Amino acid sequence: MPPFDTVIFDLDGTLLNTLEDLADSTNYALAAHHMPQRTLDEVRRFVGNGVALLIHRAVPQGTPPETEEAVLSCFRAHYLGNMEHKTAPYAGIPALLSSLSEAGLSLAVVSNKFDGAVKGLCEKYFGPVLPVAVGESPGVAKKPAADMVHLALRALGRDGGRAVYVGDSDVDIATAQNAALPCISVTWGFRDEEFLRAHGAQHIVHTPQQLLEALLLPARGEDASAPRRP
């Protein structure tokens, strides 16, 4: 019997490589307001806490709040129409999700990206294999709060007793802790192993195949490599 019956995934940097489309929309919005452009590496550092904070970090320091809000609105509109140009699942992810679904695990996505984009991307790239996708929406606290995780579990009809959280960032590690779930951190996304370990990661995988094994192999007693509940 697999150790888990439910997997909650982060989206950006975990299932999908969205970085270039995020950077393109960020720079489009900045250019529209005559602001300096940002590099891909800068945008990589800015993502993870939702698009409002992405734009707050991207605009020049001291930008008036009303101008920052206008840049954010411009970003949202551009990204919704251009979020599929360069975005793609990481290699091995579609097969991973199919294997987990065929094994009977319940799967969901929880992301700080705004809800319309999360649902649209999950439907396009993963379809029915990922039936629940929860993004940023009014009245629901963003990650690292546990609220969206709890919302996803309720939508799946699971109590979380055998759930695990999978992500690529410090925000994901904190989210798992706040939701009282074990966490598996992946290194193919927006943060490297050194960063993840410095922010408390205890179980790290480097390939989707390693992740599949961690999610499906029976519990291994005191094996230190197996993720544990906090």
Residues with a catalytic annotation lie at: 10
Cis preceding-peptide flag for 144 (omega within 30 of 0): yes
Measure the N-to-C terminal CA separation of the chain; round to a whole number of Å.
21
- Three-state DSSP at 4 gives coil
Q: Which two tokens stand for residue 59?
A: 């605009």
The sign one gets for the Cα dihedral 149, 203, 124, 77 is positive
Task: Specify the length of the chain in residues.
Answer: 230
The residues, ordered by sequence, that sit 6+ positions from 28 with a Cβ below 8 Å of its Cβ are 74, 75, 78, 82
CA-to-CA dists, residue 43 to 51, 96, 166, angstroms: 11, 27, 22
Q: Which amino acid is at 7?
A: V
- Beta strand 163-167 pairing with 132-136: unpaired
